[in-house]
Amino acid sequence: MSDRVQVTKPIVGICHMQVCAERDATDEEILAVCNRENPAGTELGWATVIRNSDDNRNQRPCADNPQRTHFLVAC
């Protein structure tokens, strides 16, 4: 398990999950943890980190650590 990226909600709707990650975590780093720790079960697996979008209502600073952000990941 990566200390820099943690799955916080394994299921958000049909094809999303939420992670808590260091602000400088790359999409590749986040997706690697997601696909290892909570496989999507789809052919492509978790494929997109949703950043700075109106579609990502869950993106917000972490209440426990201001250096981390919650992101939605889509399959």
CA distance 61 to 23: 9
Q: What's the length of the chain?
A: 75
pTM: 0.87
Average pLDDT over residues 6-25: 93
22-26, 31-35, 48-52: which has the minimum mean pLDDT? Answer: 48-52
pLDDT of residue 51: 82
Cα 35 to Cα 41: distance, rounded to the nearest angstrom? 9
Residue 63 and residue 41: Cα distance in Å, rounded?
30
The average pLDDT across 4-19 equals: 93
**pLDDT number for residue 59:** 78
Phi-psi region of 44 (alpha: psi -120 to 50; beta: other; left: phi over 0): alpha
Cβ atoms 8, 19 nearer than 8 A: yes
User: Does the structure show a pLDDT above 90 at 60?
Assistant: no
